[in-house]
Amino acid sequence: MKRDVVILENPSELGAGTRGAGTGPISLRLEDNQNGNAVYGKYPHVTIPSRNEVLCKATDTPSAKYINQIEEQNLVLINKLQEQLGSNKFPLIVSGDHSNALGSIAAIKDQYPDKRLGVIWIDAHADLHTPYTTPSGNVHGMPLGASLGEGYESPSINQPTQEVEDAWHRLTHIGKNAVHPKVLATDLVLIAIRDLEEPEWRDIDDNRIKNYVPARLLNKSMEEVAEETLTYLGACDMLYVSFDVDSMDPSVSAGTGTSVPNGLTLDQAKTLLSELYKSEKLVALEVTEINPLIDEHNKMAKAALEILKHLL
């Protein structure tokens, strides 16, 4: 399918627990530069400035670390992403950590508030936490929690400060139209999830969120998974795919902050994304959590680049 692609680099790593994901977008671009510019030589790219310098200071919001700066970063992302959507571009978003996806989802829904958005989340983790349920305080575990909005989540295990509660309320309503929620639990599909805390499993069960754990993928081809996913989200007007590289098995590369065994193979990831990319309803695709600082020979960026070459 012919698309007017623009690459949107968002190197923010404010939500990650392990430093280095902010260099992921650059490592992907440099890898492509050294191998013929098959992607970046074909499509324009825009880089969003980050606020990663605040990581030099300790956070004062431990149940949602750096949440105020993450809000600021996502407001900038929303504006940049909506510029591209408003120009009928197809944003290929390459982000540092997964907290940025809350801004991507918000931008799409805010741009098309009357359309029903389906989200396909390919990740080892569900990222359904909130400041009330997180064991770590890392906001890259909360983007779907923010997108599903206030009121859906499991009972609290934390008591956030008033500052965090106020910031969380703003995040769940972020965007000029303050759409809340951004996505319905019935319009969400989780693929390759396998490393979740108990509150997230409870949220999945209570909200009947469609998901594919490794055991459910054993006897299915990626073509079947894609077809089932697109059929399940058939009532949605538009789709967004978020691909966390930790959805792949560590045998592909350990170059991500939270690698987990029993993930997708590189070929499975290529096939799955290629099948989803064929959908006319797809309005944006995000690739996230490449971390070359904990990798060897930039293997994860090479794998991600191979996927994008196959896709585009």
248's CB contacts (< 8 A; 6+ apart) are 263, 264, 265, 266, 269, 303
User: Residues 41, 287, 258, 103: is their CA dihedral positive or negative?
Assistant: positive
Cα–Cα distance for residue pair 71/238, rounded to 1 Å:
25
Number of domains in the chain: 1
Q: What is the pLDDT of residues 157-169, one digit of tens each?
A: 889 999 999 999 9
Amino acid at 181: P
pLDDT, residue 149, reads 94
Cα–Cα distance for residue pair 181/148, rounded to 1 Å:
5
Mean pLDDT of all residues in 202-220 = 95
Identify the band that residue 156 occupies on the pLDDT scale cut at 50, 70 and 90. Answer: confident
Q: What is the CATH number of the domain that holds 229?
A: 3.40.800.10
**Cα end-to-end distance, the chain, whole Å:** 9
Mean pLDDT of all residues in 276-282 = 98
pLDDT, residue 280, reads 97
Question: Can you give the pTM of this predicted structure?
Answer: 0.97
For residue 153, pLDDT beyond 80? no
Identify the band that residue 255 occupies on the pLDDT scale cut at 50, 70 and 90. Answer: confident
> In which domain, by residue range, is 79 found?
5-311
For residue 257, pLDDT beyond 90? no
What mean pLDDT value characterizes the chain? 96
pLDDT, residue 253, reads 79
Question: SS3 sequence, 39-51?
Answer: CCCCCCEEECCCC
For residue 263, pLDDT beyond 80? yes
For residue 60, pLDDT beyond 80? yes
For residue 259, pLDDT beyond 90? no
Tell me which of 49-53, 120-124, 210-214, 250-254 is least confident: 250-254
